[in-house]
Structure 1
């Protein structure tokens, strides 16, 4: 497959994401979309991206996780780049959605996103992995496509939420060590579970805590922990790890939404909802209604 690199969509710690336009599709039965996202890193620094590519392959059967259409190596300005070609999320991330809406999203909309993310997490957990970095920035909105009677692809307004960025995914039960030493905490401070900070313990329960923080942010339009730009990361980590606080759940949500958040934001991971009762979580999420008091 031949493609052309476009504008930069985002930058991470070890890779850059570009818009990619397909110039010549592959000779296969399944045609890729005309636009994709190319996640790229220099070949000599592409080990993490290569691992992420393998993870996308393992999760390719799940419609709630971003699709990967393959990988390749290109030479640009004399340097070799390793690229993985991903589904393009025209709707941006849930963080973008919050920013454009300007406040908390309606519960009916949040319910739809919640269902998709829960199904994606359930798939990841059942495969024996933990995502470790669930947050609004890592959940992307992909256009739904439908076929009309003339077999032409038509866009519909509703967008599907899909889990992206598998760069921090780890095996459940696996201790994060390298040459006999712990690798330290991973993830984004505002969404990290207490046990992950205290014990560097990253199991499926930690993803459910992060999901609770994410859903709370979608509903309020505000980050789960009150802080400003001058608040140091270590201060947030200390509050999460060493106090008995949980993110504040404002009044005004439906009873179902409040109960859902409280079940996710339990400090004791053994009492928190997990993938073992994920069907119950989904059932609860399905009852969310658009009843926020603004």
Structure 2
């Protein structure tokens, strides 16, 4: 493993420090994500996840920075540690520093549970996600790509864990016009189709209902271990399934509590109240 030094500027005090790349975590489109060590004032090191891209493609990451700064006080949204531009082989690179999730993603957590999570834990995790969505919707945003891989797992007290929502590069304003070139025959998705309410996309209008549908898919996946509409092949088959079926994306287990079933049916309701933030009771 080769360490690569780069410059990092942390928010709050504007101090410029040296950070060290530890390993690559993955890549999405034109962006790379890696793990880095940042020195602290007490002589220790802080691990951070760093999103990097060529400066010519930095608009989506800078958008994420702007949004994350609005949620610095929320315990349900991943925290931003700062941003900086660096020079690598004569190419300017833009870097966004985020707190590192030692527990991986919610998808990893489901697998550690053996493929499905017991309902008491699902109830606790769902409450955390609702609290996160309440913050996001309260600012007039729609996350637009809520799924287990965009939910990070942090250590809590004892054996408990804390879930935080991440990846805000596709965030939209609620009620934003989302016209699709070519009309409804050409369905195009910026998010992840498996977790999206296609009705919202077909109507060319972004609403909070899209995130609520995604939440229902995530709850169902935590309980069953299966992705929504598992076994469906192709976007058109998936679109037909979600648009014209009156049943949830996957079968709700009979052993699921009445309260849990009621929550899921509300998430998958065809007509939700438009406007206003999600209220978590």
Q: TM-score, normalised by structure 2?
A: 0.84
Label 1:178 to 1:258 Cα distance change in 2 as closer, same or farther (>3 A): closer
Q: Deviations over 1:43-74 (max 9, x none)?
A: 11111111111111112221100000110112
Label 1:233 to 1:102 Cα distance change in 2 as closer, same or farther (>3 A): farther
Q: Distance in 1 between matches of 2:206 and 2:164?
A: 21
Q: Distance in 2 between matches of 1:157 and 1:33?
A: 24
List alignment gaps of at least 5 residues for structure 1: 146-155, 281-294
Q: Aligned ranges for residues 26-45 of structure 1 at < 5 Å?
A: 34-45=46-57
Q: Deviations over 1:94-119 (max 9, x none)?
A: 11111232221011211221111111
Q: Aligned ranges for residues 144-163 of structure 1 at < 5 Å?
A: 144=156, 156-163=158-165
User: Equivalent residue for 2:176?
Assistant: 174
Q: Aligned ranges for residues 106-255 of structure 1 at < 5 Å?
A: 106-144=118-156, 156-176=158-178, 184-227=188-231, 231-247=233-249, 248-255=251-258
The CA deviation at 1:178 is: 10
Label 1:105 to 1:3 Cα distance change in 2 as closer, same or farther (>3 A): same
Question: What SS does structure 1 have at the residue aligned with 2:273?
Answer: helix
Question: What SS does structure 2 have at the residue aligned with 1:202?
Answer: coil
- Report if the CA contact (8 A) 2:130-2:280 is conserved: no
Q: Distance in 2 between matches of 1:208 and 1:200?
A: 17
Q: Distance in 1 between matches of 2:73 and 2:171?
A: 17
Q: Deviations over 1:181-217 (max 9, x none)?
A: 9995331111111322321322111111110010100
Q: Distance in 1 between matches of 2:168 and 2:210?
A: 15
Label 1:67 to 1:49 Cα distance change in 2 as closer, same or farther (>3 A): same
Q: Deviations over 1:214-269 (max 9, x none)?
A: 010001111121315xx112221222123433222121111211111111111223
- Report if the CA contact (8 A) 1:185-1:196 is conserved: no
Question: What SS does structure 2 have at the residue aligned with 1:54?
Answer: helix
Q: TM-score, normalised by structure 1?
A: 0.81
Q: Distance in 2 between matches of 1:227 and 1:201?
A: 28
List alignment gaps of at least 5 residues for structure 2: 1-16
Matched, 1:20 2:40: no
Bigger Cα displacement from structure 2, 88-97 vs 196-205: 196-205
Label 1:274 to 1:243 Cα distance change in 2 as closer, same or farther (>3 A): farther
- Report if the CA contact (8 A) 1:193-1:210 is conserved: yes
Size of the aligned set, in residue pairs, is 261
- Report if the CA contact (8 A) 1:25-1:32 is conserved: yes
- Report if the CA contact (8 A) 2:180-2:204 is conserved: no
- Report if the CA contact (8 A) 2:176-2:205 is conserved: no
The CA deviation at 1:87 is: 0.8
Q: Distance in 1 between matches of 2:133 and 2:45?
A: 25
Q: Distance in 2 between matches of 1:26 and 1:77?
A: 30
- Report if the CA contact (8 A) 1:133-1:188 is conserved: yes
